Copies of this chain bind each other. A is one copy, B any other.
Amino acid sequence: MKIANTPKPPYYAVIFTSITAEALEGYAETADRMVELAQQQEGFLGFESARDGIGITVSYWKDLESIKHWKNNLEHSIARKKGNEQWYSAFKTRIALVERDYGKI
């Protein structure tokens, strides 16, 4: 996993934080598939993910429209439903406008 090579702000971040439940059947495959699928979406700019007790996945998007389009993707909607009902005991999704960034890469 590398630090996402995002363009100059402004752009959007979707911060998805989760705690997994016990029954994780099909979870890893679906997570991999969602990454593959997200990368094919219009407006996708990159993502970063780590799990260690809590899971944090941040995906980066060009604008709110591309986030909405991805949210309405059928396969993604089915995966989210399973996540909500089965895989996650708790989760939070935050939609945020990246105003500024800096670092060394």
A contacts, CB < 8 Å to B: 1-4, 6, 9, 13, 15, 17-19, 48-56, 58, 84, 88, 90-105
The distance in angstroms between the C-alpha atoms of A96 and B14, with both chains bound, is 10
Question: Which 10 pairs across A and B sit closest by C-beta, in order of nearness?
Answer: A92-B103, A96-B96, A50-B50, A50-B52, A1-B54, A94-B101, A96-B98, A95-B100, A56-B56, A1-B53
A-B contacts, 7 listed (Cβ < 8 Å):
A4-B92, A17-B58, A56-B58, A93-B101, A93-B102, A94-B101, A96-B97
Which B-chain residue is minimally distant from A99 (CB atoms)? B95
Q: State in angstroms the CA–CA spacing of A98 and B92 once bound together.
A: 12
Query: Which chain B residues lie closer than 8 Å to A94 at the CB level?
Result: 6, 9, 13, 98, 100-101
